[in-house]
Amino acid sequence: MRWTPGGVSGNVEDRRGMGVGRGAMGIGGVVIALLLSVFFGEDFLSTLGTGPAAPARNPAEQQARDRQEEPLVQFVSFVLDDAQSTWHKLLGERYRDAKLVLFRDAVESACGTAPAEVGPFYCPADEKVYIDLSFYEELDGRFGAPGDFAQAYVLAHEIGHHVQNILGLSRKVSAAQRSNPDAANELSVRLELQADCLAGVWGHSTAKRGILEHGDIEEGLGAAAAVGDDRIQRRTRGSVNADSFTHGSSAQRTEWFRRGLTSGQVSNCDTFRR
């Protein structure tokens, strides 16, 4: 992506280096970990622990890590501001900025306390996106999705959840899941695919403004495919169970991200009718 390194967004809340106890996880943290255990086929509940807080990092080590991550902090700041500027133009006065919380190891949110292992997430209760920047190393190494637009896709997807929250879609889906638990997974998939499409709507805007470079679209689509339920389950379990999907298959995620990229229209992101 074409962007100019600069300062840090006013909507970034930097909590790196702030210790969080991993013993007294709230119910939100337990729910998040349970969902991730189902999603990845791994035991994330054990990461919550019942013991004392994780040991604090050495101050010199923290400073070194901060310096190492500074280019990435500036990049996610650019993506955050650019994405939110786009949504202000598309939604007008209805749109309100989300905050981006940077953390390490574990974080407290209005949705509970969660370990970094859950990956990036959006909490509608405080309208904040949470990310441990080490996830991007995992995106490249573990998921095989390198590139700056792959990184941008992840953040744009979480901002997509913020858009859903503003439009009242998240609350409608939650109510539908409570009233029809058998459809909970299917509704979760549709919500996640819509967030992929909304991320694509922002991507369309970046293409129109000429800030995408050769290969960026492929990086974003590669990231969407890499985090498909089927690919993750095949890698972690050795088999695929479509009934347990919560985010959608690789093909579904790339399809809906591409729809947003191609059209740039929110109206083309209705995953609940198509």
Question: pLDDT tens, 212-221?
Answer: 999 999 999 9
Residue 37 has pLDDT above 50, yes or no: no
Q: pLDDT at position 57, please? A: 63
pLDDT band per the 50, 70, 90 thresholds, residue 81? very high
User: Within a domain: residue 3?
Assistant: no
More confident residue, 210 or 273: 210
Q: Which of 76, 124, 132 minimizes the C-alpha distance to 102?
A: 132
Q: What is the mean pLDDT of residues 153-160?
A: 97
User: Within a domain: residue 27?
Assistant: yes
DSSP structural state of residue 89: H
Q: Give the C-alpha separation, 131 to 107, whole Å.
A: 9
Q: What is the mean pLDDT of residues 53-80?
A: 82
Residue 118 has pLDDT above 70, yes or no: yes
CB 219 within 8 A of CB 149: yes
CB 100 within 8 A of CB 11: yes
The neighbour count for residue 49, using CB atoms within 10 Å, is: 16
User: Within a domain: residue 134?
Assistant: yes
Percent of the chain with pLDDT over 70: 86
Q: Is the dihedral of CA 197, 201, 206, 212 positive or negative?
A: positive
Q: What is the mean pLDDT of residues 76-94?
A: 97
Q: How many CA atoms lie within 13 A of 148 on its CB side?
A: 16
Q: What is the mean pLDDT of residues 120-140?
A: 95
Q: pLDDT at position 24, please? A: 41
More confident residue, 181 or 32: 181
User: Within a domain: residue 209?
Assistant: yes
User: Within a domain: residue 217?
Assistant: yes
Mark out the alpha helices in the chain (DSSP H runs). 27-40, 59-91, 135-141, 148-166, 169-179, 184-208, 216-226, 229-236, 250-263
User: Within a domain: residue 6?
Assistant: no
Domain count, the chain: 1
CB 216 within 8 A of CB 149: yes
Q: pLDDT at position 26, please? A: 44
Q: pLDDT at position 56, please? A: 55
Stated pTM of the model? 0.86
Which range has highest mean pLDDT (64-68, 142-146, 252-256)?
252-256
What is the domain extent for residue 113?
A: 12-269
Strand partners, 239: none
DSSP three-state, residue 16: coil
User: Within a domain: residue 2?
Assistant: no
Q: Give the C-alpha separation, 233 to 104, whole Å.
A: 26
Residue with structure tokens 């479509």?
242
Q: Is the dihedral of CA 105, 108, 111, 112 positive or negative?
A: positive
DSSP three-state, residue 68: helix
User: Within a domain: residue 4?
Assistant: no
Residue 30 has pLDDT above 60, yes or no: no
Q: Which of 202, 117, 116, 113 minimizes the C-alpha distance to 158?
A: 202
